[in-house]
Amino acid sequence: YNMPHSFGTRARTRDMFSKKFKQHGLPHLSQYLMNVKVGDYVDIFANPSIHKGMPYKHYHGRTGIVFNLTKTSVGIRVNKPVNGRIIEKRIHVRIEHVRKSKCQKEILARKVSNEEAKANAMKTGVKVNLKRTPLLPKAGYFLQSPGETEITTIQTTPFSDLL
């Protein structure tokens, strides 16, 4: 006899909607006072201690852009892959289930450094390359012989372990 299969909204979320060890309880006040503006990048991260305004499990851990602010909630645009195409979904989630995203941090820092480099290049008249370059292969080198011993090459014997 098989148990009936459940397809509820919180099915298979035992680990997803559970808090870490010693992290239980209600969210801090700073979570409610979080400064969010339209156009900000936010991560949807469901807080299992607050059941109201909780996002559906698919959106947990996704990053979206704020498009609307209400008294208690945040409207977020999230991309969702459906049958090989990407649909932009608009969902409203309570502020408790949202974190500020750090996905733009590196891009913004690079913008600032590029502007500084451009300004310096204009002053000095030196051409500067602002493009990112991939990591180049490491430079080759020769190993030093350990002590005064000569290095001897050992010839392999084929299939010696089978005899």
How many angstroms separate the CA atoms of 93 and 72, rounded? 9
Instruction: State pTM to two decimals.
Output: 0.74
Does residue 33 carry a pLDDT above 80?
Answer: yes
Q: What's residue 1's pLDDT?
A: 75
Q: What's residue 160's pLDDT?
A: 63
Confidence of residue 124 (pLDDT cuts 50, 70, 90): very high
Q: Reduced to 3 states, what is the DSSP secondary structure of residue 81?
A: strand
Q: Which residue has the higher pLDDT, 82 or 144?
A: 82
Confidence of residue 85 (pLDDT cuts 50, 70, 90): very high
How many angstroms separate the CA atoms of 47 and 13, rounded? 12
Does residue 67 carry a pLDDT above 70?
Answer: yes
Query: What mean pLDDT comes out for the span 73-83?
Result: 97
